Structure 1
Amino acid sequence: MVEAKENNNTDEFMDDEFEDMEQSFSELFENSIKELNVGDVVEGTVLQINGDMVVVDVGYKSEGIIPLAEFADESGQVDIKVGDKIDVLFERRENENGLISLSKEKADRQKIWNSLEEDAVVEGRIAARIKGGLSVDIGVNAFLPGSQVDLRPVRNLDKLLGETFEFKIIKLNKRRGNIVLSRRVLLEEQRESLRQDTLETLAEDQEVVGVVKNLTDYGAFIDLGGIDGLLHITDMSWGRVAHPSDVLAVGDKIKVKVLKFDREKERVSLGLKQLTADPWLSVAEKYPTGNRVSGKVVSLTDYGAFVELDEGVEGLIHVSEMSWTKRIKHPSKILNIGDDIESVVLAVDVSNRRISLGLKQIERNPWEVIGEKFPIGTIIEGQVKNITDFGIFVGVDDGIDGLVHISDLSWTKRIKHPSELFKKGDVVKAVVLNIDQENERFSLGIKQLASDPWQTIATRYAPGTMISGKVTSVTDFGIFLEVEEGIEGLIHVSEISKEKVDSPKDFAKVGDNLEAVVLHVDTEDKKIALSIKHVAHQKEKAEVDAFLGSQKSATSNLGDIFKGAMDKAGDKE
């Protein structure tokens, strides 16, 4: 019985001790609960990973849960396992399932916020474009104003999305959760550091590497490291450059030569073409006068075409050197930019960087052989190409026109303008009269196809010859009478009548038929003088001559009869 009593005492003691321990543990646990407040960041241990939730022990009477998504990195990968120690933020106490709510993301952000300070340099990724600038992820969202993105304004902010840079915190308000960043401040600091280094080392004739920063119509600005240098368009290439964008693009990394450097004003002139030899140094040897050369037409002007023979070497084909025969009004009539052509070197002026080229010299001058092809006296047939006040131009050969002067159109007709007889496109025959190769003139004649009627006028119309014709014109000084087609004679006012005539217009009108007597013929000046007042006298003379002629004939007949009778008498004796 004693033993039983002792056993009972022992059990009572153990029960009392367990109760005391349980009470002490409960008090300690209650005390720990009081110390864990909403918003606190505590360390926890991963107990389980169930589906899309992670169970974490933070020393609380209940475990906490965190969505598995909070453990995913940027690529969506989850790297977490049971037993891992993590920092979490206590969000709220037990829910209906007896679990507390924790957050790993908020704990991470809280740690970041606690570590941030103004003027601190942080790394972040540009996440989105928002009003006034960009949103940057530095662990928490921060604002990057558009004016603080770069040293120069950036027109297209969208192209920066996803890029990672370093930024400086220029404003920080933890209470409101506002952070303002600047990338420009860091770039300015870097630029100033580079500028000082560049100023110490830069020198004329030095070859340096830079980045194309900006393009203008007149050149490109090259960032040499804190200092911008100007690469003028004329120093980009020995050849022709229409615009700097034809050679460079913003962002290009290029080697250039320092041509001039004003250290005080920090002005730098750069050259790109100076990295290679001047092609004009070998032009005289490479392009001797008289040689045929090939090149590409790169420019057309009113006075000629520029042909690129080599990079930086151009020659000019003057408009007068483009054709032996054609009058070229503008080079674009026969050439186009980009054409590959052959030409002949006419002259080289290295000091002035000029090469004169000839296009027509590729072929033989047609004026040198035209005389052989069409000797003087040759009858040609061609089309009327042009009509002027002084004559007509007739196509003779390819590109060569012959001139029929107005005076060579007709022997007899009075022509005021060639258009009275011809029009453009008419096909005519003509005789080659003369070829002037030196002055490139080809003379033709149409009237020479027939003989000159004036050569026989003097014999056909001797002085005293009676003629009749039609009045073609009446003037104050006389009347013009058509002797034959195209040939006129003048009846001077003094030869109209023996009596005084006040005006020829009172005597005759155009179209009247009149008789007249030829007084004089001047074949050299092609003039015939006629008279009406001598018509009566000439008729009388003609009648007398006719009568005397008849009398002479009768006398001659009597003499013949008498002579015949005498001859017969003699025969009888």
Structure 2
Amino acid sequence: MDTNTPLPPTTSDVTEDENYDFAALLRENDQERASAVDRSGGSKQIDATVVAVSADTVFLDIGYKTEGILPLSSFPASDKAVEPGDKVRVTVKGRDTDGYYELTRQRTATPKDYSSLEEAFEAKGTVLGTVTGVVKGGLTVDIGMRAFLPSSRSGTRDADEMAKLVGQEIRVRITTLDLEGGESGRPDAVVDRRSVVEEEARASADQRFSELAEGDVVNGTVRSLTEYGAFVDLAGADALLHISDMAWHRVANPADVLSVGDSVEAKILKIDATDPARRRISIGMKQLLPHPWDTVSEQFKIGDKVTGTVTRDADFGAFVEIAPGIEGLIHISEMAWGKKVRKPSDVVKVGDSVEAVILGIDTEQKRMSLGLKQALGDPWAELVKTVHAGSVVEGPVSSITKFGAFVTIAEGVEGMIHISEITAEKRLNHPSDVLRVGEVVQAQVLEIDREKRQLKLSIKQLVPTGIDEFIAEHAVGDVVTGRLIDLDRVSNTARVELGEGIIAMCSIPAEAAPVEDLATKTGPVDLSNLGSLLGSKWKTSAEPSKPAAKGKAVVAPSDDKTLKAGQIRSFRLTVLEPETKKLALELA
């Protein structure tokens, strides 16, 4: 092929315009193609016009820059004499030495019957045609006459796809029909293939749509992907495969699972035919696979420690996928032992790998509750191994309220110091009068309630008192002096004062003498100096007391077997617990 031959034009060579002169475009293409045929020695027929006649030669305008010539002898003598303006059908054979195109005369074809094309044009019906070539702005199609198919109406996406139509038989609709031919005298037509293709696609979709039903298992081809799913061609009917129906596990991007052109098997989930113009088919791939929850009870048990990936979070917690298609919820309250979590993202982020403990499984609702803090170990379980009532602990003040202060003893463990246990020196109006948030303090453990996860503390108990000194100076078995405060014959116990603020319980034998109400015989007992009196007797046995002054109560001697309120006696220490400050006595 001559390298100077023009290449076929592409779709981009022309812009669609309803007023575009397609006849002129065809004439222009004829000239270009004729020139190409001429240079390559082709046999294209041309309608030429006689411009001059010499003694032996007829000169004709064939639409080229140079005229063509015919021997005068090619016109039979019996015919009408050739005159300028006459129309003659010729074929270019080549060029002579003078540069003229050498022509040969062809017999003019008998006019064709275009009535069937006229009927199809009037009825807006379709006709069959064969694509004969690519021209500027579109294609030429033989429908029984030459027709022009604009690229925008070819039903193709690009020039390469349009070029593949050459030589193929296609169905088109005639949009313009000019049998007169205008100035050229040749009948012209413009055809449309895109509307026919679209109608055929709709008809195919209608037929396919009527054949489908919800619950059917179908095969299709992925046509396109979007961020929310994939569109699948079900042999003529489009269906949406949503991202949530691709797999039982969470899919972040459809492209992670499918590619355009993939063949898929799916189940029809829903057919929406309420709007005939927008019928919708929803399909799912995961519905053809076993549900992961069917075997959950075999795989997992309450209390199991599992590892998973955080897939999403909400105001109330975070969801963790512990197996493909199996998610559990870590409620915000199960994320940390000590601190109050305000939002899940403060503790875990989407994509994090976390360890958790299964707290609950509901196979019917397909729900699982998980605990993040439980996987870290219960700090209370560790606390009770080393801390008990009477232990001294230390930690920063985490918060202060009007009734007390909270102290962090360990991660996830707080103790409360009631306002009455902060100091013994004065009565506080508010804990903040003495304590500040963040201040590190020491406190004594008063009580541990593991079930309620409560720890009661006291600061003032660490300040030495009279009872602390008493305990430091005595041991079980020591005989000390004390005053009977009151007696309870129901329980056979008595309260005994061993010094100022030092109270102990004494067990009274059942055979002890009955109690006398000394106050009814002698009047009120004056014990104003008893504290100092007893203080001097902590390390000695009881001695007989001196008679009381006039108007005062008489204190019974220690050998009087009758027990009376206000009586000073000797007692033996039977219990002495420094941690709880517990004292117990028996009669000496």
In the superposition, the TM-score normalised over structure 1's length comes to: 0.53
Q: Rg: which structure is higher?
A: 1
1:136 to 138, 141, 144: 138
Give the number of the structure with larger relative contact order, counting CA–CA contacts within 8 Å between residues 6 or more apart. 2
Q: In the alignment, what sits opposite 1:162?
A: 160
Q: In the alignment, what sits opposite 1:228?
A: 238
1:368 to 365, 370, 381: 381
Q: Distance in 2 between matches of 1:387 and 1:176?
A: 103
**Runs of at least 5 residues in structure 1 that lack an aligned partner in the other structure:** 1-28, 42-56, 62-86, 104-114, 129-134, 152-156, 457-518, 524-573
Q: In the alignment, what sits opposite 1:545?
A: none
Residues 521-548 of structure 1, C-alpha deviations (whole Å, 9 max, x = no match): 9x9xxxxxxxxxxxxxxxxxxxxxxxxx
- Deviation at 1:354? 0.8
Opposite residue 286 of structure 1, the aligned amino acid is Q
Determine if contact 1:345/1:356 at 8 Å carries over to the other structure.
Answer: yes
Opposite residue 401 of structure 1, the aligned amino acid is E
SS in structure 1 opposite 2:60?
coil
Counterparts in 2 of 1:383-462, with a 5 A limit? Answer: 383-452=396-465
Q: In the alignment, what sits opposite 2:552?
A: none
Q: Distance in 1 between matches of 2:255 and 2:318?
A: 24
Determine if contact 2:138/2:151 at 8 Å carries over to the other structure.
Answer: no
C-alpha spacing 1:403/1:183, structure 2 compared with 1 (3 Å):
farther
Q: Distance in 2 between matches of 1:273 and 1:358?
A: 29
Opposite residue 138 of structure 2, the aligned amino acid is V
C-alpha spacing 1:176/1:123, structure 2 compared with 1 (3 Å):
farther
**Runs of at least 5 residues in structure 2 that lack an aligned partner in the other structure:** 1-52, 73-89, 104-113, 122-126, 470-526, 532-588
Q: Distance in 1 between matches of 2:237 and 2:182?
A: 42
Q: Distance in 2 between matches of 1:395 and 1:176?
A: 102
C-alpha spacing 1:324/1:202, structure 2 compared with 1 (3 Å):
same
C-alpha spacing 1:421/1:208, structure 2 compared with 1 (3 Å):
same
2:317 to 304, 307, 314: 304
Q: In the alignment, what sits opposite 2:61?
A: 38
Q: Distance in 2 between matches of 1:390 and 1:181?
A: 92
SS in structure 2 opposite 1:277?
coil
- Deviation at 1:423? 1.9
Q: Distance in 2 between matches of 1:252 and 1:102?
A: 59
1:378 to 386, 391, 407: 391
Residues 384-440 of structure 1, C-alpha deviations (whole Å, 9 max, x = no match): 222222222222112322222211111132222222222222222221222211111
Q: Distance in 2 between matches of 1:121 and 1:437?
A: 91
Opposite residue 306 of structure 2, the aligned amino acid is V
2:248 to 230, 238, 259: 238
Counterparts in 2 of 1:162-241, with a 5 A limit? Answer: 162-164=160-162, 166=165, 168=172, 170-172=174-176, 175=182, 180=190, 182-192=192-202, 194-195=204-205, 198=208, 201-212=211-222, 221-232=231-242, 234-241=244-251
Q: Distance in 2 between matches of 1:127 and 1:445?
A: 100
SS in structure 2 opposite 1:186?
helix
Q: Distance in 1 between matches of 2:262 and 2:183?
A: 43
Q: Distance in 1 between matches of 2:364 and 2:466?
A: 66
CA RMSD of aligned residues (A): 4.9
Q: In the alignment, what sits opposite 1:282?
A: 295
C-alpha spacing 1:369/1:200, structure 2 compared with 1 (3 Å):
closer
Opposite residue 423 of structure 2, the aligned amino acid is S
Determine if contact 1:292/1:342 at 8 Å carries over to the other structure.
Answer: yes
Number of aligned residue pairs: give it: 368
Q: In the alignment, what sits opposite 2:27?
A: none
Opposite residue 332 of structure 2, the aligned amino acid is V
Determine if contact 2:175/2:192 at 8 Å carries over to the other structure.
Answer: no
C-alpha spacing 1:445/1:191, structure 2 compared with 1 (3 Å):
same
Residues 49-89 of structure 1, C-alpha deviations (whole Å, 9 max, x = no match): xxxxxxxx99769xxxxxxxxxxxxxxxxxxxxxxxxx965
Residues 339-382 of structure 1, C-alpha deviations (whole Å, 9 max, x = no match): 12222222221111111222222233111221222222222232
- Deviation at 1:315? 1.1
Residues 442-488 of structure 1, C-alpha deviations (whole Å, 9 max, x = no match): 221111111458999xxxxxxxxxxxxxxxxxxxxxxxxxxxxxxxx
Counterparts in 2 of 1:105-144, with a 5 A limit? Answer: 119-123=127-131, 135-138=137-140, 144=150
C-alpha spacing 1:143/1:419, structure 2 compared with 1 (3 Å):
farther
Counterparts in 2 of 1:416-565, with a 5 A limit? Answer: 416-452=429-465
Opposite residue 386 of structure 1, the aligned amino acid is S
Identity fraction in percent: 35
C-alpha spacing 1:196/1:410, structure 2 compared with 1 (3 Å):
closer
Opposite residue 347 of structure 1, the aligned amino acid is G
Q: Distance in 2 between matches of 1:326 and 1:406?
A: 23
Opposite residue 175 of structure 2, the aligned amino acid is K
- Deviation at 1:326? 3.1
- Deviation at 1:223? 3.3
C-alpha spacing 1:414/1:263, structure 2 compared with 1 (3 Å):
closer
C-alpha spacing 1:296/1:349, structure 2 compared with 1 (3 Å):
same
C-alpha spacing 1:204/1:409, structure 2 compared with 1 (3 Å):
closer
Q: Distance in 2 between matches of 1:450 and 1:412?
A: 10
C-alpha spacing 1:98/1:144, structure 2 compared with 1 (3 Å):
closer
Q: In the alignment, what sits opposite 1:17?
A: none
